[in-house]
A and B are shown apart, each in its own frame.
Chain A
Amino acid sequence: MVWRFIAKRVVIALLQLIGISLVVFFLIRGLDADPVARIVGLNATAEAVKQATESLGLHEAKLQQLANYLGIFSSSGKDGIMQGTLGESWVTGSSILEEVARFLPITLELITYSLIIAFLMAMPLGMSSGTRPGGFADRFTFVWGLFAGSQPEFWWGLMFVFVFFFLFQQAGWPSAPAPLGRLNPFLTAPESITGFILIDAVLRGRFDVWLDAAHHLMLPVFTLVFVISGPIVKMVRQNMLRVLRSDYILYARSAGLSRNKVARYALRAALAPAMTLTAIIYGFLLGGAVPVELIYSLGGIGEYSIRSILNLDFPAIQGTVLIIAMVSLVIYLVIDILHAFLDPRIAF
């Protein structure tokens, strides 16, 4: 059953990816913008423009361009998606796949840690808020949610840099590092295995790198956690309230189950919707963590895609959209499978 469900979902995901590729492909070509001018400059000769246009393949009909992109009936002699490549960046000239492979893990690392921490914090907080509405935990999360949710994350990011880096350093306290990337410039990053710097550091046995990377990741992760935990806590709290008023919890208590057991019954029912919300936020943050990436100069995939858009680097835009969509679809699939394991009412 599970395998059939996964197979079905993978087929649907493939169709979705094809749809997304086509839409992006034609949308960016429908823009009233000239990528050639962006590359050769405004004062270039007609000859140079023509040459650049041809080297980029933009002189071809749109359908032929699509064929080249896909790698079917290609007129350029280069590989396309069907051959497993996303082409080369018009700006840097290097392989998009390699660039994405370099930038994507940075974002994944940032948001994965943030969401794991946010989820682990939100569960107990939300549960105790739901168990005692109006109690300390409840009032705390209410104020926090209001406070954190009312300001954009880049503002919080700047505030945290100001406080934890600048003010702390001035005061002579142990402070956060300068928001200038993932590592101290004097350290060399370990050769990439997973792309997750903390994991690579452990795998390569570079514990000095591990400590420094963790130090650098601290503030960006804290910023994201601070902002995204609010809705998750609220979701857990609402579910908990609803579950605690349910017939089955009242019945479990009337049957003499211990406090612990009853709490586990409630947690089980409140867990699934919070997980779904977390997955949705994850999908959103893949492209939506840009402000935080920029403030801390992390150089993630969000930053990369913004740069590609501003440069009208068509292959890079197409490639990042495709990859981000793919990662999102995989996350949703995993969450749906987990959800179905938790809740037997969901049929595959």
Chain B
Amino acid sequence: MVAETNESTVAGSSTGNILEARDLSVRFPIVDGPDVYAVRNFNLAVKPGEFVGLMGEPGCGKSTAAMAFLGLVRPPGVIESGKVDFLGNDIFKMEEEAARQMRGRDIGMIVQNPRYSLHPMMRVGDQIANVYRAHNDVSKKDAWNHAIDMLRMVGINDPDRRVKAYAHELSSGMAQRVLIAIALSSTPKLLIADEPTSGLDVTIQAQFLDQMWDSCRQTNSAVVLVTQDLGIVANYCDRVVIMHEGTIVEDADVYTFFKSPQHEYSRRILNLQREAQEAGESVLGKIDRNAAPIVEVKDMSKLFPIRASESKVHAAEHVDFELRPGECLGLVGESGSGKTTIGRCVLRLVEPTQGEIIFRDRNIADIRRNEFRKFRGNLQIVFQDPLDSLNPRWTVHQVLSEPLKLHTELSGQAKEDRISELLDLVGLEPSMRFALPREMSAGRQQRASIARAIASNPDFIVLDEPTSALTPETTAEIIRLLMDLSAKLGIAYLFISHDLTTVKYICHRVVVLYLGQIVEVGTKDQVFNHPRHPYSRALLASHLFPDTTNRRVDRAVRETLEGEIPSPITENLPKGCYLYGRCPSQVDKCRDMPQELAVLDDGRSVRCWRVAEGDLPEEPAAH
């Protein structure tokens, strides 16, 4: 099943289409303006067993189209014309009751914004139970128990407690899994999934997409996956459909799409991805490994106390690493691995519980508060959400003036010239000088943030997920910008990200974190192409690179991790190896044996005694 190519599967099973949309148009009436057509003359046919990726830039109407497949549209929109056939029945002409029964039972839906898609004032258990009871004749109590089972099925820890939670008490990853549970519980013939994995960590994302792919092939159901992620498309989809301004502009099988994209949008995103990679490679290799490190982190730990409790949150434990001038060090790990805390400690935004941070031979903890304020010009940070990190009432000019006032002697014309220079460096048009954050695109906002960070000529910048809130297209642009700046200005980056694709492009060395501990440190080539620690291996195998030559679904063994990362509080932490219980290579000894970071012959460090003793031979990465 896994090894079959898409043509044989689809051709062998299809007698008709599961879903067929013809000439579909959705109109949104606008007060004081001409109506907007979010979807226009849209045509799509989906066969049984097919896994279709629906892609397009934000606002192209893909989510609206997906909703319209169910005959639904967000008010005040209206489905203007066209028809949608589901297994030969015209959905728009169905009786209300028949259409209602079909939704959620025959067609499963997973939507974006999982936390906002759950009712804010009702327990998630009641919401799951309500959907279940809408399609099955069961008692309230049975439905409630079923809700608990479903939460357990999608791998939520402690389902008996979570079932009573409200949406705002769940993380977005957990809320996402609640929606997945609802959608999968009725084994639908068609699953429409709108960015179903945007809030999930890569290992969970892979588990879920694997499950979707398997059930699609095994039960001959179909999946329409709305996404912007080239990695997901490359690894799972049989077919790629590109939407642009409400209509389909390209419909190709996945291999053809990646080899020879037709539409201008497709070419642009694939090119940008390629260029970002090339830009990264052209800068790499220029690092003088013998130069004195600019930042050294020595045996640093950070524990957060929990109110009214003896136990603590172990955000970081005994972390050691160093950066040389001009180097880009990637800090990767799933949510809860301590990446962000480490980044904040390095900048002394959070005081570490123990350990030293040395910046240019000075322990930054020894610098007095008011002297440190000046010193901060050397240590800058760029945050994840550009809109949140810019004062909404300040123009770009004001945003950039502030660091110049604090950290430089510039004034008058010299200051204005410097601002022009900064705008030029980050590729912002001069017309953006007096723009407010909300008047700019997310990409431009992030450029403004970066300009603010480099205004004081820092030697070192922490990039805390600088591209996670951006579209893939903007991500590629920002990555290129960061590389250019590093090449021009020689800034060292600590690049914090859960997105291994971007890390792969721009980092020289990579630190892999798990539960606040470093599990592996090595060069990019070592970690990405020959990971040794079982966690690094699973993380990389789960990550979906935009590459169709080694699709995850075609692999003989899909490496993954069981369960999810435990929350890092004292009593939850394993006694021995922190990965014990999830590790595919564990032996009994691992349970009680704390692991040390050991340096291997090739210069990398790995926190696994079995790797250090050579029990686990080196293999090329699965991805």
**Complex CA distance for A246 and B75, rounded to whole angstroms:** 9
Interface residue? A20 (CB, 8 A): no
> B72 — which chain A residues lie within 8 A by C-beta?
250, 253-254
How many residues of chain B are within 8 Å of chain A by beta carbon? Answer: 32
Across the interface, do A265 and B119 meet the contact criterion of CB distance under 8 Å?
yes
Segment at the B interface, from A2-10, A60-68, A337-345: A337-345
> A261 — which chain B residues lie within 8 A by C-beta?
130, 134
**A268-B119, A345-B168 given as contacts; is B96 within 8 A of A250 (CB)?**
no
Chain A residue at smallest Cβ distance from B169: A344
Cβ proximity bits B172-187 to A, threshold 8 Å, 1 near / 0 not: 0000000100100000
Interface residue? B441 (CB, 8 A): no
**Complex CA distance for A128 and B120, rounded to whole angstroms:** 22
Interface residues of B in 102-121 (CB under 8 A from A): 102-105, 109, 111-113, 116-121
Across the interface, do B117 and A256 meet the contact criterion of CB distance under 8 Å?
no
Across the interface, do B111 and A251 meet the contact criterion of CB distance under 8 Å?
yes
Give the residue of B102, B105, B166 whose beta carbon is less than 8 angstroms from that of A344.
B166
**A248-B118, A269-B121 given as contacts; is B75 within 8 A of A256 (CB)?**
no
**Complex CA distance for A247 and B120, rounded to whole angstroms:** 11
Across the interface, do A256 and B130 meet the contact criterion of CB distance under 8 Å?
no
Chain B residue at smallest Cβ distance from A249: B119
**Complex CA distance for A342 and B113, rounded to whole angstroms:** 23
**Complex CA distance for A19 and B111, rounded to whole angstroms:** 52
**Complex CA distance for A269 and B167, rounded to whole angstroms:** 14
> A259 — which chain B residues lie within 8 A by C-beta?
96, 100
Cβ proximity bits B256-284 to A, threshold 8 Å, 1 near / 0 not: 00000000000000000000000000000
Interface residue? A326 (CB, 8 A): no
Across the interface, do B67 and A254 meet the contact criterion of CB distance under 8 Å?
yes
Across the interface, do A255 and B103 meet the contact criterion of CB distance under 8 Å?
yes
Across the interface, do B109 and A248 meet the contact criterion of CB distance under 8 Å?
no
Interface residue? A258 (CB, 8 A): yes
> B109 — which chain A residues lie within 8 A by C-beta?
251, 254-255
**Complex CA distance for A246 and B72, rounded to whole angstroms:** 13
**Complex CA distance for A58 and B502, rounded to whole angstroms:** 82
Interface residue? A257 (CB, 8 A): yes
**Complex CA distance for A327 and B67, rounded to whole angstroms:** 50
Interface residue? A252 (CB, 8 A): yes
Across the interface, do A254 and B113 meet the contact criterion of CB distance under 8 Å?
no
**Complex CA distance for A146 and B112, rounded to whole angstroms:** 40
> A342 — which chain B residues lie within 8 A by C-beta?
121
Give the residue of A244, A248, A257, A343 whose beta carbon is less than 8 angstroms from that of B116.
A248
Across the interface, do B122 and A247 meet the contact criterion of CB distance under 8 Å?
no
**Complex CA distance for A248 and B75, rounded to whole angstroms:** 13
> A258 — which chain B residues lie within 8 A by C-beta?
100, 134
Across the interface, do A254 and B104 meet the contact criterion of CB distance under 8 Å?
yes
Interface residues of A in 245-281 (CB under 8 A from B): 245-248, 250-259, 261, 265, 268-269, 272
> A268 — which chain B residues lie within 8 A by C-beta?
119, 121-122
**A250-B111, A345-B121 given as contacts; is B131 within 8 A of A256 (CB)?**
yes
Across the interface, do A256 and B120 meet the contact criterion of CB distance under 8 Å?
no
Interface residue? B307 (CB, 8 A): no
Interface residue? B101 (CB, 8 A): yes
Interface residues of B in 504-546 (CB under 8 A from A): none
Chain B residue at smallest Cβ distance from A268: B121
> B121 — which chain A residues lie within 8 A by C-beta?
268-269, 272, 342-345
Across the interface, do A257 and B120 meet the contact criterion of CB distance under 8 Å?
no
**A245-B74, A345-B166 given as contacts; is B104 within 8 A of A255 (CB)?**
yes
Interface residue? B483 (CB, 8 A): no
> B103 — which chain A residues lie within 8 A by C-beta?
253-256
**Complex CA distance for A139 and B102, rounded to whole angstroms:** 35
Chain A residue at smallest Cβ distance from B123: A344
> A257 — which chain B residues lie within 8 A by C-beta?
100, 104, 130-131, 134
Across the interface, do B120 and A250 meet the contact criterion of CB distance under 8 Å?
no
**Complex CA distance for A137 and B122, rounded to whole angstroms:** 29
**Complex CA distance for A269 and B100, rounded to whole angstroms:** 22
Across the interface, do A251 and B117 meet the contact criterion of CB distance under 8 Å?
yes
**Complex CA distance for A252 and B67, rounded to whole angstroms:** 12
Give the residue of B67, B120, B182 whose beta carbon is less than 8 angstroms from that of A269.
B120
Cβ proximity bits B71-111 to A, threshold 8 Å, 1 near / 0 not: 01011100000000000000000001000111111000101
Chain A nearest CB from B74 CB (Å) reads 5
Across the interface, do A247 and B111 meet the contact criterion of CB distance under 8 Å?
yes
Chain B residue at smallest Cβ distance from A265: B119
Interface residues of B in 57-81 (CB under 8 A from A): 67, 70, 72, 74-76
A248-B116, A265-B119 are known; give 8 further A-B pairs, CB within 8 A: A244-B75, A246-B116, A248-B118, A248-B119, A251-B111, A252-B119, A259-B100, A269-B121
Interface residues of B (CB under 8 A from A): 67, 70, 72, 74-76, 96, 100-105, 109, 111-113, 116-122, 130-131, 134-135, 166, 168, 179, 182
User: Can you sample 17 A-B contacts with CB below 8 Å?
Assistant: A241-B75, A245-B75, A250-B67, A250-B72, A250-B111, A251-B117, A254-B70, A256-B102, A256-B105, A257-B100, A258-B134, A261-B134, A265-B119, A268-B119, A268-B122, A343-B121, A345-B121
Q: Identify the 10 closest CB pairs spanning chains A and B, nearest first.
A: A256-B104, A256-B103, A251-B117, A247-B116, A255-B104, A254-B109, A247-B117, A255-B131, A344-B166, A248-B119
